[in-house]
Structure 1
Amino acid sequence: MSKEIKERFALYFDIPLKLVFDLASTKVTVRDLLKWKEGDIIETNKMAGEYININIQDKPLGTGEVIVLDNRFAIRITTIYSKEDLMELNVR
């Protein structure tokens, strides 16, 4: 990236963006939901090694892999979509 472009876009570098990792989903009844308490464990449909969608500002950004790093879940970015990929996905 050229110095001129960096200077032109410098005003935008600190804008916060909402990043969402489609990590897991599960179905639960209202009855079970109302029983939840701090410390409960909810089983989901994702495990370490599975791939997930990554969205930014509610638009697709790419994909990632669920990994375990220092006994914590983390996401390894595996794909960042190009403009052409997004056109194929019909993203505007």
Structure 2
Amino acid sequence: MIDEPRPGSNLDAEPLANENLKFLENIEVELSVEVGRTEITIRELLRLNEGSIVELDRLAGDPLDILANGTKIARGEIVMIGERYGVRFGDIVDPVKRVESVS
């Protein structure tokens, strides 16, 4: 489910700068949300089991990275939509730069 942008958002305020974007608009990309990262040794990796906890590089409540095909396009926060998780977009990369970074 994708909510349409509110009036006054980036897409309403300025038309797409590049007509070539029209060609790309219907291409699907994988959208993912990254909670955080850390580095561990192979030994630590092999010792992980059910119930293990790994500390990440972010504080609780910090904005999460939103990625399209592995490239950061925005930051946001987790929300609940019924019984499912969703993500509310916050800081967003310019539309043209988003397409350039994932194509």
TM-score normalized with structure 1 length: 0.55
**Alpha-carbon RMSD:** 3.5
Q: Which residue in the other structure is 1:78 paired with?
A: 90
Say whether the 8 Å CA contact 1:48–1:68 is kept in structure 2. Answer: no
What fraction of aligned residue pairs are identical, expressed as a percent? Answer: 28
2:26 corresponds to 1:32: no
Query: Shift in Å at residue 48 of structure 1?
Result: 2.3
Does residue 50 of the first structure (1) align with residue 62 of the second (2)? yes
Q: Report the number of matched residues.
A: 76
Residues 53-76 of structure 1 show CA distances to partners (whole Å, capped at 9, x for unaligned) of 2111223321113x586xxx8743
SS of residue matched to 2:38: coil
Return 5+ residue gaps in structure 1 as ranges: 1-11
TM-score by length of 2: 0.51
Which of 64, 68, 72 is matched with 1:60 structurally? 72
Q: CA deviation at 1:24?
A: 0.9
